[in-house]
Amino acid sequence: MTLSLAPDSRLRRALGSEHLAGWAFALPAVALIVIFGIVPIVWSAVMSFQANDLVSAPHWVGVANYRALLHDPAFAASVRHTLLYTVIFVPLSVAGAMLVAWALNRKLHGVRFYRLAVFVPVVTSTVATGIIFLWLLDPVFGLVNFFLSKLGIPAQGFLSNPNQALYCIVAMTIWGWLGFDVIIYLAALQGVPHELIEAAEIDGAGKWSSFRSVVLPFLRPATLFLVVWSTISALQLFDEIYVTTRGGPLGSTTVVVFYLYQQAFQFFNGGYAAAIAYVLFLAILVITIIQLKVGGRRIYSNT
């Protein structure tokens, strides 16, 4: 061997150390996170201070992108749509999931089938979900209008009606994501000691009262998690819009992330889109911190 290292040389120690092996194992994951996580985060921060059409050379514009956002009525509208969507979606999906989980948390004949049925939409691709809803809600050929007509209710525009489209998106996303929330709640419900419900029954509590006084407190940690998680995903709504309405009709379903997409990849205002992304990020951060502060106080510790 020509290369002979002194037994205590630095190189030898470095090569033989556990550090090196550890980094070698971690490298694929670290590389992925750096390339697809950290680099875009930093790059988009830089971009948000540039005029950047994603093709020609960018140039610095300072905070002009952010200033422009303040005076952009289309952005303001997208924020309104997003907030309206979030305010409807989060409470309905969380409360609905709690109700469904409660109904499924019993010895019911075929309960496994119902649980499966509730969860299937979660693992179904959003594109498929979107297409199914497009069919169901089609103003002319859709099944929903067919049944409404049977009830004597006139045909509705649904996704093609600017006053209804966003609510249809709410219904579609609740259907698609309910199963996830239900699974979380089912797990939380398993953690409620059965004797506590029996004790409440003996103490004279009715079904609703024992749910409110005994079961609900046990669901608080799960509820907080779901509210935070649903709020974040509601504020980032995109896929369902992209598949169904593409922001329309008349921009009535243009939410913040869809507006970002339009700015970046339809109008090639890369810098402006990056600024939107950062504003959205900060908004989510602030909202999440507030939710955790307010909600965390109401969770008792069992220790």
In angstroms, the CA 256 to CA 151 distance is 37
Select the residue interacting with another protein from 53, 72, 201, 239 (CB under 8 A): 201
Instruction: Rule CB under 8 A: say whether 213 interacts with another protein.
Output: yes
Select the residue interacting with another protein from 139, 157, 217, 249 (CB under 8 A): 217
Instruction: Rule CB under 8 A: say whether 189 interacts with another protein.
Output: no
Select the residue interacting with another protein from 199, 282, 285, 290 (CB under 8 A): 199
Instruction: Rule CB under 8 A: say whether 209 interacts with another protein.
Output: yes
- 82-90, 124-132, 148-156, 200-208 -> range binding another protein (CB under 8 A): 200-208
Select the residue interacting with another protein from 202, 266, 293, 297 (CB under 8 A): 202
User: Cα dihedral sign for 282, 283, 285, 289?
Assistant: positive
CA distances from 48 to 36, 63, 64, 195 (A): 18, 8, 9, 57
Instruction: Rule CB under 8 A: say whether 301 interacts with another protein.
Output: yes
Select the residue interacting with another protein from 16, 22, 193, 296 (CB under 8 A): 193
Minimum CB distance to another protein, residue 46 (Å):
49
Instruction: Rule CB under 8 A: say whether 190 interacts with another protein.
Output: no
Instruction: Rule CB under 8 A: say whether 204 interacts with another protein.
Output: yes
In angstroms, the CA 149 to CA 259 distance is 35
Instruction: Rule CB under 8 A: say whether 53 interacts with another protein.
Output: no
Which of 128, 124, 106 is CA-nearest to residue 115? 106
> Whose Cβ is closer to another protein: residue 8's or residue 195's?
195
Select the residue interacting with another protein from 24, 55, 71, 195 (CB under 8 A): 195
- 94-102, 178-186, 193-201, 222-230 -> range binding another protein (CB under 8 A): 193-201
Q: Residues interacting with another protein, by CB under 8 A? A: 193, 195-196, 198-206, 209, 213-214, 217-218, 300-303
